[in-house]
Amino acid sequence: MKKNKDYTFKYNQNLGRNGWLRLTPAYSVKLVEEILGDDNLFSEKKISSGTVFDPFCGTATTGIVAAERGLDSMLYEINPFLYWFSTAKGQNYNSADIDNQLKHLNKTLYSAHYSQYCKSWTPPMKNIERWWNSVTVEQLGKLHEFLIEEIGRPTIQPNVSNLAWIAFARLVIESSAADFGHISVSFKDTCNSYEEAELLSLFVKSLEYISESAKRPLKGNVKIISGDSRDVCLDDKVNYVITSPPYPNRISYIRELRPYMYWLGFLNSGEEAGELDWAAIGGTWGSATSKLSSWECDTNWFMPTCLTEAVNKIKESDSKNGKTLAKYVLKFFYDIYLHFKNLTKNLKDGCELYYILGNSSFYGNMVHTDLIVCEIMESIGYENPVAKIIRKRNSKKELFEFQIEATWHIKK
């Protein structure tokens, strides 16, 4: 089994809207395309009608791919930044409005107004010097305040100004010392220094790329809902569920997203970060870890035997963090159970479900996500849940990514 990088975020980087912003844990456009079926008239499998639902929206990959094929989609997202970004990503824009904004910003960015009168602002990020040196931070802060003055802050309402803020978010990462050689962000030894002219050039380049791809209209509608996937409540039932939830591997979306969230005003403190991560499935950032110690699981739920075995082995491992991580794994799958249980009321008869998930290992103890999820689904009433390996995840032989499929039929 190969690593198959085409099934990761790397495949998305130059694909129009799906290349607007990097999120390392994001899954691949190619995966969604393969699930929807080959987009030609002679394909034996081609989903050409019905509503697609993604309860773990992320960067809206599922919704955008579906909309490009003319399918309507509904997406759920609990993270406020991802909710904003996915909403902006899933909108259709007026080409004239895009051109007018680009023309206006190109003109004013190089004016005396920008160079002489724009103040600078620094976000309240802990250890910000690991990300940018003082020269780059000053220039980013200057551009940040300029954008607020010229176009206003990011807005959840349809507005072409959001494209400029997405370009700014790209710039924040491009000018940082972040190293994405691993799925979790690490840092280079030194931070590059970006002066005003170089930083503005990078910003304009990103804005031009985003603006050009935003002109291509989406055929289907993308509706983003701010909500908790453990308690999904939709206005209409759906025909397909295509999604990739967080994995039980302690990769925190808040940790990966914090540069975007602080600079664009979606985070203001470490305390807020901890609260947001605790609200999400699989979150262990900041105070979310300490809250695990007092969390108790409802005993009245189906707990697969292989999950019980994994939790006990992790708890008994020779590590001071064994008990905490055992609770983390237990809570992760309890939340997944709640998701699958409450999801059923939103599914049409015959709804097909496709989940991309990975297994994990703690102190050498395997957590067989594929087996656990299939057993949970079967206990709730989903039919024929099966898991197939789609790629090897890293150098450890036992870590894989799975596509888990099942069907829901309404009981008569």
Torsion of CA 68, 74, 79, 82, to 10 degrees: 20
Give the pLDDT confidence score for residue 189 in this predicted structure: 80
pTM, whole model, 2 decimals?
A: 0.93
Q: Which of 5-9, 114-118, 165-169 has the lowest mean pLDDT?
A: 5-9
Q: Which of 21-35, 101-115, 229-243, 249-263 has the lowest mean pLDDT?
A: 21-35
Give the CATH class of 5-90+219-408: alpha beta
Give the pLDDT confidence score for residue 43 in this predicted structure: 44
**At residue 222, what are phi and psi to the nearest 5 degrees?**
-115, 115
Show the CA angle centred on residue 49, arms to residues 45 and 50, nearest 5°: 115
What are the domain boundaries of the chain? Answer: 5-90+219-408, 95-214
**Distance (Å) of CA 352 to CA 35, 49, 85, 303, 347:** 10, 13, 27, 24, 9
Distance CA 314, CA 309 (A): 9
- Between 181 and 222, name the one with better pLDDT: 222
Burial 233-269, CB ≥16 within 10 A → b, else e: ebeeebbbbbbbbbbbbbbbbbbbbbbbbbbbbbbee
pLDDT tens readout for residues 148-175: 999 999 999 989 999 999 999 999 999 9
Distance CA 246, CA 391 (A): 17
The DSSP output letter for 83 is: H
Distance CA 375, CA 301 (A): 12
Which of these, 168, 112, 105, 113, lies nearest to 141 by C-alpha position? 168
pLDDT tens readout for residues 299-339: 889 999 999 999 999 999 877 888 889 999 999 999 999 99
**Residue 94: alpha-carbon gap to chain centroid:** 26
pLDDT tens readout for residues 24-62: 667 888 889 999 986 544 445 667 789 999 999 999 999
- 51-54 and 72-77 strand pairing: parallel
Give the pLDDT confidence score for residue 41 in this predicted structure: 42
What is the arithmetic mean of pLDDT over 261-279?
93
